[in-house]
Amino acid sequence: MDMIYLASDHGGFLLKEKIKEQLIKIGLLYEDCGNSVLDENDDFVDFSKDAAQKIQGDDRGIFLCRNGVGVSIVANRFSHIRAVLGFDTTQVSKARNDDNCNVLCLPADYLNLQQVLPLVDVFLNTQFSGEERFVRRIDKIKSINQ
C-alpha cells in the first residue's frame, strides 16, 4: 500500500480526524483530501471526488459521511475504484480478500471510534487473495461500459 487518501464532509469530520491520529500512530502515509475544517455547509461530493481521482495502483481510500452511502456512490463512479460501505469486520475482510476493494466508506452517524478502528485495521491489513474466480469477476466488472 502506497498512500491512504482520506475524505470527509462535516458529518464524518471528527471521526476522520481520529482515524488520522491512528494512521500516524501506526506509521502509515496518508493524504487528507478534505475537508480540513469543520464546515456544516460543505459537500461530501467534493472531497470524495478529489480523493478518488488521486487513488492509483495499491493506494487505498477511507471516505466518511453521515451514512456512508453518498461517498460510496461518488467513489464507485470511478472505474478504478471498488468502494465498500463498511459495517462489520468480516464484511470488510471479504471485500478486500474477494473483491479487492480499495476504498472503505464509513457511516459516521452509525459507528463510533471503537467500532471504526477495527474496520480500518482489517481494511488496511487484509490482502486481495488473487484467486482466479475473484480476478475473473473483477475483470468482468472492469469491462462494464455504460
Neighbouring residues of 107: CB distance < 8 A, sequence distance ≥ 6: 64, 65, 66, 67, 68, 69, 85, 87
Q: Is the pLDDT of residue 146 over 80?
A: no
The 3-state DSSP class for residue 87 equals coil
In 3D space, the residue among 69, 9, 2 whose CA is nearest the CA of residue 34 turns out to be 9
Report pLDDT for 145. 76
Contact 19, 6 (CB under 8 A): yes
Contact 108, 19 (CB under 8 A): no
Q: Would you kindly state where each structural domain of the chain is located, as residue ranges? A: 4-142
Please give the mean pLDDT across all residues of the chain.
97
Q: Is the pLDDT of residue 53 over 90?
A: yes
pLDDT digits (tens, 9 = 90+) for 58-108: 999 999 999 999 999 999 999 999 999 999 999 999 999 999 999 999 999
The residue behind cell 475473484 is: 134
Q: In CATH, what is the architecture of 4-142?
A: 3-Layer(aba) Sandwich (3.40)
